Structure 1
Amino acid sequence: MKKISVGLADDHPVILLGVSQVLTEHPDIDVRFSCATIGELFQHLLETPVNVLLCDFEFADDPQADGLDLLKRIKRVAPNTKVLILSSHTGSHIVSTSLAAGASGFIGKARSDCAGLPQAIRDVQSGNIYLPPPIASALLSNIFQGPDKAGGLSALSEKESIVARMTCDGFSISEIAARLHRSPKTVSNQKGAAMRKLGARNDVELASIVRELKSD
């Protein structure tokens, strides 16, 4: 039996431990390395090439880079390694742009998702794209329903756009309200409207979507 060599990268030790335990139970999967920092990841990729890299979308020690930038760097260093993204941020925009940037699959961090990791690794090693049913369903729904974010930032009103950009720059609702001379409730409503239109479920997804649309 030819084993699939796998590398693990996540800045949460508990996740690394749990994933390692799941994968070591499968004789066709060989975990070659496990790391928690960007520096360790790139060192391992250069010294210990693997078939599949199971990698978090963002790392705390790499604050200047979003997940897409990290993915592009990984593909430059290890172009033959298939990257399976492991992330708690599974918004349709993040998933679709990750696949477009070269990811071979995307899987969440819920316990039920981890149970599907061995098959996910086998699928991407075989040249297929892997998406768990809930993520695949949301992605297809997003495509066929033609969401507002397809129109980019132009889908937002001027006030919503300003609030979204300031949120991505790290300003809190109270800080935005003070700077724009609006009430915190008004700013909160405008931020919520922007997130709904762009399909973002939290500030991390909002920042990723805005950065991607600004670079288009």
Structure 2
Amino acid sequence: MNADRAEQGVEAVSRLSVVIADDHPVVRAGMRVLLSQDASFEVVAESSTVPETVRTVTEHQPSVLVLDLTMAGRSSLPSIPDLLTASPGTRILILTMQEDPAFARASLRIGAAGYLLKEAAAEELVGAARQVAKGATYLQPAMGARLAVADVGSPGAGGDVSLTARELQVLSLLASGHTNQEIAGRLHVSVRTVETHRARVRDKLGTETRAELIAAARVRGLL
């Protein structure tokens, strides 16, 4: 009897904690059921906005965060570095409707461990969560094929451009229409810091205006 209880205790400790972040209650409920049916996972919390997700991840330090790319009208992409800073051991699996391969590329480049479309089979979500929890990178096969086609079919990209995580955050927020002041508020930095990051991105992409910057970033798959 004691041995059985000891084994159960070890099993409980070894379960992978999961936070589900999506602004649709029905979607969260479905993911909770799917993951809870697998003995490897324990869903410890849910969230429906980007700020709430940052707070929840900070509190629970989950093994895996299943993250929607858009919640309550706000992109969660720029928050990925902050989430990883708040919980370095958390692996982020993007689960989204965004089929554009540029979003997958940007998500993985900025720190996500996996990218999965919501059209995927239920079993694939469980498998993807297990893979990223083990330290692997997961990219849905269909999305991988789209990425390959996009890479081959992007003439005049001008070579690879390496942006830091913060530069990608600033770029994403600029593309969403935010001003330097608004970006500074969202990232909790000074306006001067935002201007510096923006200037560095502009120099790396060889552009001058905001429109040119965003266009060049999209050509290179940064947005």
TM-score of the pair, normalised by structure 2: 0.63
- Partner of 1:126 in structure 2? 134
Residue identity matched to 1:150 = A
SS in 2 for 1:80: coil
The one-character-per-residue Cα deviations of 1:116-164 (angstroms, maximum 9, x if unpaired) are 1111011001111111110111112222x14147359xxxxxxxxxxxx
1:73 corresponds to which of 76, 79, 82? 82
Residue identity matched to 2:214 = V
SS in 2 for 1:6: strand
The one-character-per-residue Cα deviations of 1:18-65 (angstroms, maximum 9, x if unpaired) are 111111110111111111122321221121110110011122264xxx
Separation in 2, partners of 1:115, 1:212: 37
Aligned residues: 159
Separation in 2, partners of 1:107, 1:86: 5
1:83 corresponds to which of 86, 89, 92? 92
Please say if residues 37 and 61 of structure 1, whose CA atoms lie closer than 8 Å, have aligned partners that are also in contact.
Answer: no
1:105 corresponds to which of 103, 114, 118? 114
SS in 2 for 1:213: helix
Separation in 1, partners of 2:214, 2:26: 30
SS in 2 for 1:98: helix
Please say if residues 107 and 113 of structure 1, whose CA atoms lie closer than 8 Å, have aligned partners that are also in contact.
Answer: no
- Partner of 2:20 in structure 1? 8
1:22 corresponds to which of 13, 34, 38? 34
Instruction: Note the aligned Cα RMSD (angstroms).
Output: 2.8
Residue identity matched to 2:80 = L
Residue identity matched to 2:127 = Q
Equivalent residue runs for 1:54-73 within 5 Å: 54-60=66-72, 62=74, 66-73=75-82
Residue identity matched to 2:102 = H
Separation in 2, partners of 1:68, 1:13: 20
- Partner of 1:213 in structure 2? 217
Contiguous gaps of at least 5 residues in structure 1: 153-166, 170-206
Residue identity matched to 1:141 = V
- Partner of 2:123 in structure 1? 115
Q: Closer, same or farther in 2 for the Cα pair 1:82/1:149, shift >3 Å?
A: farther
SS in 2 for 1:150: coil
Separation in 2, partners of 1:54, 1:60: 16
Contiguous gaps of at least 5 residues in structure 2: 1-10, 160-174, 178-210
Q: Closer, same or farther in 2 for the Cα pair 1:116/1:151, shift >3 Å?
A: same
SS in 2 for 1:147: coil
Separation in 1, partners of 2:90, 2:45: 14
Instruction: Give the stretch that moved more between structures: 6-15 or 68-77.
Output: 68-77
Separation in 2, partners of 1:67, 1:97: 12
